[in-house]
Amino acid sequence: MRLSTRLTVRRRTRCFLLLHFFCFGALLLRAADLPRQATVATNRYEFHQPHDPAGIGKFYMGREIAQVMGHEAADWLERPERDPEEHTEVLVEQLMLKPGEIVADIGAGTGYFSRRLARKVGAAGKVLAVDIQPEMLALLTNRMTALGISNIVPILGSATDPKLPAESVDLVLMVDMYHEFDFPAEIMEALCRSVKPGCRVVFVEYRSEDPAVPIKPLHKMTEMQVITEMSVLPLDWVQTIEVLPRQPIIIFRKRSPGNAAASYRRR
């Protein structure tokens, strides 16, 4: 082979290899960029250090998520002074439950509210008592057995899913619980799927607007923060009832397909 021919072959080979090198490199860069882009597109949460010791360093819509109260503190849920301090019986009355309704008690704990709700819905109704701590559900089950209450169903949920059937619930109740959800967006999306159209989702949170409420700041929420976080869901704020000494009762209704938002009021 002549020298000129060999040089031509070498040049062509070199160009071929360079072309494949650049194409392969571009594909690698694009592949490496895809996970980063997906993370940015789907990430709902921020993480910050340092953070409040009462929180987990994870933020949703500007709010730091609080640490979960463990089953070791279960006695605090059943303290004798709870009703005098918080008017829990008044809270249950304000829900205006009807016999035969299905109620989901999210973060049911020892069943303090579950058993009160069970009385209201009667034998024809049901309370779905959801908690992510098996120890709490064991305490709840033992207490309900001792009291002879049979219309409470304990459900072990997860951090992202309360494990409720679709469009099966007439009312969802969360008492001093929402601020502790590790994945509030995912949990609320799942809860919205479980609620029947036109039915209610109720938040009861310690009033952050009142510094006299003796609770750590991260375990309190403002009414506006709750409304803001629910604004991305098919929920319409209906009313906020201000009859409890420490907590507002913030009521939403699941939007029915094609229906306009409900009229709002507070009392």
Q: What is the pLDDT of residue 24?
A: 39
**pLDDT category of residue 265 using cuts at 50, 70 and 90:** low
Q: What is the mean pLDDT of residues 57-62?
A: 96
Task: Say what the pTM is.
Answer: 0.82
Residue 40's pLDDT band, with cuts at 50, 70 and 90, is very low
Q: Domain extents for the chain?
A: 3-43, 69-266
Roughly how many angstroms between the first and final C-alpha of the chain, as a whole number?
98
Q: Which of 73-77, 129-133, 211-215 has the lowest mean pLDDT?
A: 73-77
Across the chain, mean pLDDT equals: 86
CATH hierarchy code of domain 69-266: 3.40.50.150
Collapsing DSSP to helix, strand or coil, 8 comes out as helix
- pLDDT band (50, 70, 90) for residue 43: confident
Residue 106: which of 230, 234, 28, 194 has the closest Cα?
Answer: 194
* Mean local confidence (pLDDT), 45-50: 94
Q: What is the DSSP string of 29-45?
A: HHHHHHHHHHHHHH---
Please say whether the beta carbons of 238 and 220 come within 8 A. Answer: no
Mean pLDDT calculated for residue range 24-38: 39
* Neighbouring residues of 91: CB distance < 8 A, sequence distance ≥ 6: 175, 204, 244, 247, 249
Render pLDDT for 165-186 as a digit per residue (tens, 0 to 9). 999 999 999 999 999 999 999 9
Residue 153 has pLDDT above 70, yes or no: yes
Residue pair 241/94 in contact by the 8 Å Cβ criterion = yes
Query: What's phi and psi for 99, nearest 5 deg?
Result: -55, 135
* Separation of alpha carbons 1 and 158, rounded Å: 73
